[in-house]
Amino acid sequence: MGYVIGPLFTYRTGTRANHVVFFACSRGLWNVPFIGNSYVINATLLKKYDRSKLNYAKDNLDADMAFCANLRDLDVFLYVSNRVDFGHLVNPETYDVTRTEPEMYQIFDNERDWEDRFIHEEYPESFNPDKKNAQPCPDVYWFPIVSPRFCTSLINMMEAFGKWSDGSNQDTRLEGGYEAVPTRDIHMNQVGWESHWLEFLRKYVRPLQEHVFLGYFHDPPRSLMNFVVRYKPGEQPSLRPHHDSSTYTINIALNRRGEDYEGGGCRFIRYNCSVVDTKPGWLLMHPGRLTHYHEGLLVTKGIRYIMIAFVDP
Ligand SMILES: O=C(O)CCC(=O)C(=O)O
Ligand SMILES: [Fe+2]
């Protein structure tokens, strides 16, 4: 599917008001009076015409309008074709090369690329009505959600920032200044990635929640505690039993058990049930309060990274 800008019948030279963008549902080639943003030009034209005529200036028109007007005056045939897939446009407006992992920040501006890069290829399968969603412990669901690239990018973002909390109960990042069960972590807002994370929750996590915990709707999901945890022997290797202050919690594994670290995992005490064979890019989703008292199991070697959000506190 391609798009055509400015159908012949509504076009008036010199005004933008009449430009119409429409999707062509069939494939073909259309003669158009105006093209913008991105185009391919036959190089022989550049040799053939006098540059005083073939240029980007005419009256008070914008450069793209002037260029097309000059081409029309020269009787150059302008057309749009979707017979070949040329790819798609990237919006460079907010691309910030000063960020570590700038692509991760593109969830709003280049949604399609973001999804291709960062969402797990099996994500849509979780909604297949013929498929039974994995439930390693009672009411603990397990879904593929993000790609390996997402996991390494998020770890890079956090390690480049580097200011891991000290694991004490005093935490100035929190409203009350106190964290009862502290982890060594970095919050999403410390790396300027909170709005992006919330969009990810709304767009990709919320539908999974609605799919398995029927009848609970909260759109957009609210989440004040969004962070990456680092478990490491000699630093903080485990987390004592606790409840999360959330309606539901998501816990995304970011690296590989057995390769990057040994030990680790999450144990749900009421059910005496542990999830230890966690997989990078897979998310655990469980109720936060009352039933799902849990602990982070001891990491004996290497570093374990997880991404946590307490949704709807
Ligand atoms: O280590 C885990 O998987 C559990 C982490 C956790 O419970 C938390 O951060 O609240
Ligand atoms: Fe927890």
For residues 237 and 132, membership in a common domain is answered with yes
For residues 43 and 139, membership in a common domain is answered with no
Tens of pLDDT, residue by residue over 37-57, are 778 888 888 889 988 888 999
Q: Is 225 in the pocket of ligand 1 (CB under 6 A)?
A: no
* Residue 166 resides in a domain: yes
Phi then psi dihedrals of residue 206, to 5 deg: -55, -45
- How are the residues of the chain apportioned to helix, strand and coil, as percentages rounded to the nearest 5? 25, 25, 50
Q: Whose CA is nearest to atom 8 of ligand 1?
A: 308
Tens of pLDDT, residue by residue over 229-273, are 999 999 999 999 999 999 999 999 999 999 999 999 999 999 999
Q: What one-character DSSP code corresponds to residue 132?
A: P
* Residue 268 resides in a domain: yes
Query: Could you say which ligand is closest to the alpha carbon of residue 225?
Result: 1
For residues 121 and 242, membership in a common domain is answered with yes
Number of domains in the chain: 2
* Residue 33 resides in a domain: yes
ipTM: 0.99
What spacing in Å lies between the alpha carbon of 288 and ligand 2's midpoint?
A: 8
* Residue 93 resides in a domain: no
Please state, rounded to an integer, the average pLDDT across all residues of the chain.
90
What spacing in Å lies between the alpha carbon of 269 and ligand 1's midpoint?
A: 13
For residues 178 and 290, membership in a common domain is answered with yes
User: What CATH code is carried by the domain that includes residue 268?
Assistant: 2.60.120.620
The pLDDT of residue 82 is 81
Q: Is 278 in the pocket of ligand 1 (CB under 6 A)?
A: no
* Residue 222 resides in a domain: yes
Q: Which residues contact 9 (CB under 8 A, 6 or more apart)?
A: none
The pLDDT of residue 260 is 98
Q: Which two tokens stand for residue 201?
A: 């929750």
For residues 216 and 296, membership in a common domain is answered with yes
The pLDDT of residue 20 is 46
The pLDDT of residue 224 is 93
* Residue 96 resides in a domain: no
Q: Which domain holds residue 44?
A: 2-81
For residues 110 and 179, membership in a common domain is answered with yes
Concatenated DSSP letters for 103-131? Answer: GGGTTTTSHHHHHHHHB-TTGGGGG-TTS
How many CA within 13 A on the CB side of residue 167?
Answer: 13
Sheet strands (E) in 96-238: 134-137, 140-144, 185-187, 223-231
Tens of pLDDT, residue by residue over 137-179, are 999 999 999 999 999 999 999 999 999 999 899 999 888 888 8
The pLDDT of residue 12 is 38
The pLDDT of residue 85 is 81
Which residue type sits at 282? Answer: W
* Residue 95 resides in a domain: no
Cβ neighbours of 105 (radius 10 Å): 21
Q: Determine contact, residues 302/254, Cβ cutoff 8 Å.
A: no
